[in-house]
Amino acid sequence: MKKILVAALAVSAASSMAVVKPYVGASVGYTLGQPSGVLGTDATSSSPENIYGTYAGKAIPLGVHAGVIDNDVVGAQLDLSYLLGQEQDISKQTDYKIKSTLTGVLLTPSIVVAAKGPFTPYAKFGLVFGFGLTDEQKVDGAKIEYTGGTAFGFEGALGGEFKVQERLGLTVELAAQSLKWAPTDAKITGNNLSKSYTLEDDGKSDGDIESLASATGSTARKPVYDLSNLAIKVGFNYHM
């Protein structure tokens, strides 16, 4: 009986010390084109060079989030962001260029670890899921859209919150995502073309815009996009 009473008192004391606070917020950012990988080739000069960057580079992530934090130290957060991609060159040849624009929704559940004070440094670690992703590539009057499939990866972020009012804080963070996406469908239009393709691991033709324009079948190789990115974000938290 005494043990039960002691356990009940311990649980009661722990519950009274825990202060779980919910919050909501929003952010806007810009991806820095890093980490850099080979996107294509620039063959417009006598010495062809690689074009470096990431498919998620030069994008503007627009996000909203909600979370809870226990004693202003440890919590959990769910981010929902729309990745508004900007057009970028992925291939430059002597007679044409290929431009790519990526858009889609990213869902990021994460764990938050923070410190107390008017300035609150924090770290976030979590997973990233990409939905409704579209990569639109344009070349010489034709357009191809890669769609389908779910992206998956990880995110880590370091940031700080500056308290401006009792419930309102401004946030600045540097976020890094390691993210891969394998689209499942492709559609090419323009230049009197209208073709749809199913993308498979053993597709008969290559999954690039040049080979799809001349392909006779309805399947193509499934490309794998590296959407890893490094982004700077600013926003706010409203603590309830």
Domain count across the chain: 1
CATH number at residue 220: 2.40.160.20
Cα–Cα distance measured from residue 198 to residue 220, given in angstroms and rounded to the nearest whole number? 6
In a domain, 12, yes or no: no
Q: How confident is the model at residue 5 (pLDDT cuts 50, 70, 90)?
A: very low
Note the pTM of the prediction, 2 decimals. 0.85
In a domain, 177, yes or no: yes
Does position 12 have pLDDT exceeding 50, yes or no?
no
pLDDT at 10: 42
The answer for residues whose C-beta is within 8 angstroms of residue 238's C-beta and 6 or more apart is: 23, 24, 25, 167, 168
Mean pLDDT, residues 120-146 taken together: 94
- Average pLDDT of the chain is 88
In a domain, 157, yes or no: yes
In a domain, 218, yes or no: yes
Mean pLDDT, residues 39-49 taken together: 89
Cα–Cα distance measured from residue 81 to residue 147, given in angstroms and rounded to the nearest whole number? 18
pLDDT tens digit string along 156-177?
999 999 999 989 999 999 999 9
Amino acid symbol at 143: K
Q: How confident is the model at residue 190 (pLDDT cuts 50, 70, 90)?
A: confident
In a domain, 165, yes or no: yes
- Residue 170 belongs to what domain range? 18-239
In a domain, 151, yes or no: yes
The answer for residues whose C-beta is within 8 angstroms of residue 101's C-beta and 6 or more apart is: 85, 86, 87, 88, 135, 136, 137, 138
Amino acid symbol at 203: G
Within the chain, strands assigned E span 20-31, 37-42, 49-53, 59-70, 74-85, 88-92, 97-114, 119-139, 142-147, 151-163, 168-181, 185-190, 193-200, 219-221, 225-226, 229-239
Running DSSP on this structure, what letter comes out for residue 2?
Answer: H
pLDDT at 4: 46
Least confident of 91-95, 106-110, 185-189, 203-207: 203-207
In a domain, 11, yes or no: no
Q: Is 183 helix (H, G, I), strand (E, B) or coil?
A: coil
Mean pLDDT, residues 182-186 taken together: 94
Least confident of 3-7, 15-19, 67-71: 3-7
In a domain, 4, yes or no: no
